[in-house]
Chains A and B, each alone.
Chain A
Amino acid sequence: MIRLRDITYHYPRATTPALDKLSLEVPAGQLCAVIGANGSGKSTLCYALAGFVPHFYRGQLSGHIEVAGIDVAQSSLAEIAGTVGLVFSNPFNQITGARFTVHDEIAFGMENMGVPPDEMRARIDEVLRFAGLTDLADRSPFALSGGQQQRLAIVSVLVMRPKVIILDEPTSQLDPVGSKEVFAVLRDLAAAGESTIILAEHKLEWVAVFADRVLVLQDGRLVADGPPREILTGDNLHDWGLEPTRYTQVARSALNAGRRDNGEALPATLEAAVEYFR
């Protein structure tokens, strides 16, 4: 579904690459989390997969990016739009302002793609229910809370039926309640298994719960790629500028204090921690 071969990218006037000889493959239906310290290249990777690198940000890109059969560098943003959906961190700026209600804001992308009105209405009702926004359908999108606006941004992309959905730190500007709301939608989205999801995220406790696979970026390079538990409880996490989840930290403290066996795999989620300490 996603194939990157030897991707190197420099932003305009930058001397060091934001992505450095990056190669990876993500099969269809997988939820792949991208983690790394600030400046590691997570957002650049997201923008590259959605075509904004290099079409929007310019700069120099080498290598080959293929997403859902589309050669990203050779296709226009308009051609990529229906196939790849992008959600970024600022919920407010993802409201186009071109439509008056939540219902019509969701319709905006489909209107641009020429979807017939009856089909649009059916799809909108479906995603409103999915994101728990049905009661807010007639409100102004600007009158919603941050968490509601971010859910609106997600379903506004989802309703266009993209094959790949890219989420660049979708909860970084939200309070804990808003973050929880957004992750609940992501959980349902992942459970449906209809889309390939790339999730750049700092909140490792959520990554541990949702991701099928974790990629770690450092200085634009892919430094680790594996199952969540293996990556998130590994010894290298600090070297990559990341903090283990609180469950891993507690388990490691217990291990260092000699209260647990060294052979047991450390937990990264609450459920695994309960199991670990049972």
Chain B
Amino acid sequence: MSTPFSLFIPRDSGMHRLHPLTKLTLVGFCLVGGLFFPGIWLTYIAFLVIILPLAAWGRILRPFLSAVIKTTLPFAVSLVLVQGLFWPGGTPVLELGPLSFKEEGLIFAARGTGRILMIVSSFLLLTFTTRADELMLTLSQKGVPDNIAYIMLTTLQIVPRFQSKANTILDAQRSRGLETEGNLLTRARALLPLIQPLLLGSIVDIEERAIALEVRAFGRRGSKTTLLVLHDTTWQRVMRWLLVLATLAVLAWRIYLWLEPRIQG
């Protein structure tokens, strides 16, 4: 069960107790790995060997897998359909009447899905196991300006906030007789009376939240204090450096693979 307006799932776990910077460094590695791992399967192996065990360590395996499937599956299905069926030329591997799946398209879809899986799952792992305030403090302590750190924090909260506001507006419109169930056209038509109050209401919310922040001296310059305490350990510092080295190694490997044919040519 996540906390209201946050993706964080409170659990008593080692993963939750990790310093946010350690988890951020892992996300950085997964981002670079997801984008630059060569071949098809390394991203899937990294997901199975690194990310999934960490989710199990964080005792969030079930909601984590559910969220990963919900976010990755639509991309995977559309990639397989679009790239598999409409790859120009290519070798047919499966015929379905006039349609045929091409081997090259399916390989491209598998590679793309692996990249999305690795990047999305690492971000979900971070947000499910890290309190937003601790993440904000970590960023501030590392020199990120407070307002930028706050924007990053609210970005994590924006999806559940938007969802809640949209549900309230939808309920209000339904109570006035708006049809929201039925065929695609009816559902599309129901979106219009939802979008306008949602957007206008969100602008008012942003304005009021900005005032609330100013009232609490958020814009004040000078030294600030905090009640939050972040625990760091030597082994985590070592892990972070290893992750940084691994990220640089992935980048170097990718650059080598890119340069190799040019050097030989």
Q: List the interface of chain A (C-beta within 8 A of B).
A: 50, 52, 56, 76-78, 81-82, 85-86, 88, 90, 93-100, 103-104, 107-117, 120-121, 140, 142-143, 153, 156-157, 160
* Residues 4-28 of B at the A interface (beta carbon under 8 Å): 4-6, 8
**Of the candidates A76, A110, A111, A156, which one forms a contact with B219 in the assembled complex, judged by CB atoms under 8 Å apart?**
A76
A-B contact pairs, 27 of them (CB 8 A): A52-B211, A52-B214, A81-B214, A81-B215, A81-B220, A88-B211, A93-B205, A96-B212, A97-B153, A97-B157, A97-B209, A98-B136, A100-B134, A104-B227, A109-B215, A109-B217, A112-B216, A112-B220, A113-B217, A114-B223, A117-B225, A117-B227, A140-B3, A140-B4, A142-B5, A160-B216, A160-B217
Query: What chain B residues lie within 8 Å of A81 (beta carbons)?
Result: 214-217, 219-220
Using known A-B contacts A81-B217, A81-B220, determine if residue A94 contacts B208 with beta carbons closer than 8 Å: yes
* Residues 212-249 of B at the A interface (beta carbon under 8 Å): 212-228
Chain A nearest CB from B258 CB (Å) reads 42
- The answer to whether B209 and A96 touch across the interface, beta carbons within 8 angstroms, is yes
Mostly, the A contact residues are: helix
Distance A112 CA – B4 CA, assembled complex (angstroms): 24
Using known A-B contacts A86-B211, A88-B211, A97-B132, determine if residue A111 contacts B227 with beta carbons closer than 8 Å: yes
- The answer to whether B214 and A112 touch across the interface, beta carbons within 8 angstroms, is no
Query: What chain A residues lie within 8 Å of B5 (beta carbons)?
Result: 97, 142
Known: A78-B214, A100-B133. 18 other contacts (CB 8 A): A50-B215, A52-B214, A78-B221, A88-B211, A93-B209, A94-B212, A97-B153, A97-B157, A98-B150, A100-B132, A104-B133, A107-B226, A112-B217, A116-B225, A117-B227, A140-B3, A140-B6, A156-B216
Distance A52 CA – B226 CA, assembled complex (angstroms): 26
Chain A nearest CB from B98 CB (Å) reads 53
Let me know if B72 is at the binding interface, CB within 8 A. Answer: no
Chain B nearest CB from A236 CB (Å) reads 33
Q: Which residue of B lies closest to A90 (CB)?
A: B208
Distance A50 CA – B211 CA, assembled complex (angstroms): 10
Chain B nearest CB from A116 CB (Å) reads 6
Q: Which residue of A lies closest to B215 (CB)?
A: A86
Q: Which residue of B lies closest to A82 (CB)?
A: B217
Distance A120 CA – B226 CA, assembled complex (angstroms): 9
Distance A235 CA – B155 CA, assembled complex (angstroms): 53
Chain B nearest CB from A158 CB (Å) reads 12
- The answer to whether B4 and A78 touch across the interface, beta carbons within 8 angstroms, is no
Chain A nearest CB from B177 CB (Å) reads 25
Query: What chain B residues lie within 8 Å of A99 (beta carbons)?
Result: 133
Let me know if B154 is at the binding interface, CB within 8 A. Answer: yes
* Residues 183-222 of B at the A interface (beta carbon under 8 Å): 205, 208-222
Query: What chain A residues lie within 8 Å of B134 (beta carbons)?
Result: 100
Let me know if B254 is at the binding interface, CB within 8 A. Answer: no
Distance A109 CA – B150 CA, assembled complex (angstroms): 14
Distance A92 CA – B209 CA, assembled complex (angstroms): 9
- The answer to whether B220 and A113 touch across the interface, beta carbons within 8 angstroms, is yes
Query: What chain B residues lie within 8 Å of A121 (beta carbons)?
Result: 227
Query: What chain A residues lie within 8 Å of B133 (beta carbons)?
Result: 98-100, 104
Q: Which residue of A lies closest to B222 (CB)?
A: A114
Query: What chain B residues lie within 8 Å of A98 (beta carbons)?
Result: 132-133, 136, 150, 153, 213
What mask results when residues 121 to 158 of chain B are scored 1 for a CB within 8 Å of chain A, else 0? 00000000001111010000000000000100110010
- The answer to whether A112 and B209 touch across the interface, beta carbons within 8 angstroms, is no
Query: What chain B residues lie within 8 Å of A93 (beta carbons)?
Result: 205, 208-209, 212
Q: Which residue of B lies closest to A162 (CB)?
A: B215
Chain A nearest CB from B12 CB (Å) reads 14
Distance A114 CA – B222 CA, assembled complex (angstroms): 8
- The answer to whether A114 and B3 touch across the interface, beta carbons within 8 angstroms, is no
Q: Which residue of A lies closest to B153 (CB)?
A: A98
* Residues 57-99 of B at the A interface (beta carbon under 8 Å): none
**Of the candidates B3, B153, B215, B219, which one forms a contact with A157 in the assembled complex, judged by CB atoms under 8 Å apart?**
B215
Query: What chain A residues lie within 8 Å of B153 (beta carbons)?
Result: 97-98
Query: What chain A residues lie within 8 Å of B215 (beta carbons)?
Result: 50, 81, 85-86, 109, 157
Distance A243 CA – B66 CA, assembled complex (angstroms): 55
- The answer to whether B3 and A112 touch across the interface, beta carbons within 8 angstroms, is no
- The answer to whether B132 and A112 touch across the interface, beta carbons within 8 angstroms, is no
Using known A-B contacts A104-B227, A112-B224, A121-B227, determine if residue A77 contacts B212 with beta carbons closer than 8 Å: no
Query: What chain B residues lie within 8 Å of A114 (beta carbons)?
Result: 222-225
4 smallest CB-CB distances across A and B, nearest first, come from A109-B216, A142-B4, A93-B208, A81-B217
